[in-house]
């Protein structure tokens, strides 16, 4: 494979694929492309598109085609429909900005509403980050999830900035809104093209039907920006029932596995356990995933905690775990407001009877009801 050099067209970096037509399969090509993309002077998304268009005749189809299912409710078709919606919305926003720039002030309210609609990008991004990325990591694809998550956060920041500018149009030259929109549109274009030329073809090559089933089932926790049916309704995974006969020792008594699970799922806190190797191993199910304060789904189980958080907060997370593991702190807390909830989070170090570090327990609760307790003491049970 040629080294990346100044002045070398990026589409020519890879070896001539025709030379390897019989031994170099499409998955190998994508792995090579991904490796090059994440080098210091790697391929841009436009280079990747040009490369695959150049070699289209060798694998008989456009790599951006969704060929594994014709059902419009398959997760990949939903991703693409959402991208089409976002692209259309960006075009509309562009026209509205032109109109406002030309003096049609009556369009400003519509412009603000359309920019607000782009907030639906979060549903799309969250499903990728929490469902697609864990699976890609299991199949050995690590760089793509991290760089894409960083791109998502960049778009989130640009969108937040543009909304802020639109709230202060009276005190701001509209040219700044135009500049903000141009940056947002360019960033969205790159992410959409990466989905078309990397995420969609790579997942079709790697993911099995059970993976698509899991994505379809768990996607409802994050929601959609478009109408979506239930592609795998008839093939939902069955859950093995827990043993309700064998008595196991817990604390100062005995419980069956079923009883222990019921107790954990009825505690008024959301629990998450990260083991001593940094692996996300458990969460309780107090409510449906979509109603959780911090959404957790089964696909994240087995994921390294470093990959469960956005790149911008990774350093903070690792510092917390390091301090807990080294007993710099026994626990760490944080809190913030979210709508009408006051969310309080505690990270607690876990050590066994030999003082060996076993992991970190996170518990999350809404403490707003405690803040609203009346001053008078209450001793009687509510009726």
Q: Which of 342, 350, 273 is nearest to 308 (CA)?
A: 273
Res. 92 pLDDT band, cuts 50 70 90: very high
CATH 3.30.450.20 maps onto the chain at 269-371
Q: Residue 129's pLDDT is what?
A: 95
CATH 1.20.120.520 maps onto the chain at 75-221
Mean pLDDT taken over the chain:
84
Please say if the pLDDT value at position 20 is more than 60. Answer: no
Q: CB count, 10 Å around CB of 102?
A: 8
Q: Which of 9, 59, 3, 2 is nearest to 30 (CA)?
A: 59
Q: Residue 238's pLDDT is what?
A: 64
Q: What is the pLDDT of residues 114-164, one digit of tens each?
A: 999 898 899 999 999 999 999 999 999 988 999 999 999 999 999 999 998
pTM of whole model > 0.75? yes
**What is the SS3 string spanning 270-321?**
EEEEEECCCEEEEECCCCCHHHCCCCCCHHHCCCEHHHCCCHHHHHHHHHHH
* Arithmetic mean of pLDDT, 264-271: 92
**Which stretch, 6-15, 90-99, 299-308, has highest mean pLDDT?**
90-99
CATH code for the structural domain at 75-221? 1.20.120.520
Write the CB contacts of 37 (distance below 8 Å, at least 6 apart in sequence). Answer: 43, 48, 143, 144, 147, 198
Q: Which letter does DSSP use for residue 65 in this model? A: S
CATH code for the structural domain at 269-371? 3.30.450.20
Q: Residue 17's pLDDT is what?
A: 45
Q: Residue 341's pLDDT is what?
A: 87
Q: Residue 101's pLDDT is what?
A: 83
Answer whether 292's CB lies under 8 Å from 270's CB.
yes
Q: Is 346 exposed, middle or buried (0-12, 13-18, 19+ CB in 10 A)?
A: middle
What's the gap between Cα 146 and its chain centre?
Answer: 10
């Amino acid at each position: 494979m040629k080294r990346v050099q100044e002045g070398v067209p990026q589409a020519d970096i890879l070896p001539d694929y025709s030379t390897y037509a019989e031994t170099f399969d499409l998955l190998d090509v994508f792995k090579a492309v991904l490796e090059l993309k994440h080098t210091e002077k790697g391929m841009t998304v436009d280079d990747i598109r040009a490369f695959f268009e150049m070699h289209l005749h060798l694998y008989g189809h456009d790599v951006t085609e969704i060929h594994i299912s014709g059902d419009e409710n398959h997760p990949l078709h939903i991703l693409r429909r959402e991208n089409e919606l976002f692209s259309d919305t960006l075009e509309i926003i562009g026209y509205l900005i032109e109109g406002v720039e030309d003096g049609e002030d009556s369009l400003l309210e519509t412009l603000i509403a359309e920019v607000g609609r782009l907030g639906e990008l979060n549903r799309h991004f969250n499903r990728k980050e929490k469902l697609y990325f864990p699976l890609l990591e299991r199949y050995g694809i690590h760089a793509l999830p991290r760089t894409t998550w960083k791109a998502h956060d960049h778009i989130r920041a640009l969108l937040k900035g543009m909304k802020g500018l639109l709230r202060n149009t009276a005190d701001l030259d509209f040219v700044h809104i135009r500049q903000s929109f141009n940056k947002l549109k360019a960033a969205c274009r790159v992410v959409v093209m990466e989905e078309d030329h990397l995420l969609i073809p790579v997942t079709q090559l790697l993911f099995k039907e059970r993976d698509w089933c899991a994505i379809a089932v768990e996607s409802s926790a994050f929601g959609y920006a478009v109408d979506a049916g239930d592609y795998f309704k008839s093939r939902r995974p069955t859950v093995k029932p827990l043993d309700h006969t064998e008595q196991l020792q817990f604390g100062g008594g005995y419980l069956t596995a079923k009883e222990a699970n019921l107790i954990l799922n009825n505690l008024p806190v959301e629990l998450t356990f990260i083991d001593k190797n940094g692996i996300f191993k458990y969460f309780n199910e107090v409510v449906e995933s979509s109603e959780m304060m911090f959404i957790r789904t089964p696909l994240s189980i087995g994921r390294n905690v470093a990959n469960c958080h956005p790149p911008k907060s990774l350093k903070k997370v690792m510092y917390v775990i390091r301090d807990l593991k080294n007993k710099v702190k026994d626990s760490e807390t944080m809190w913030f407001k979210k709508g009408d909830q006051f969310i309080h989070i505690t990270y607690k170090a876990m050590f066994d009877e030999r003082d060996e570090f076993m992991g970190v327990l996170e518990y999350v609760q809404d403490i707003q009801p405690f803040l609203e307790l009346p001053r008078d003491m209450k001793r009687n049970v509510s009726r």
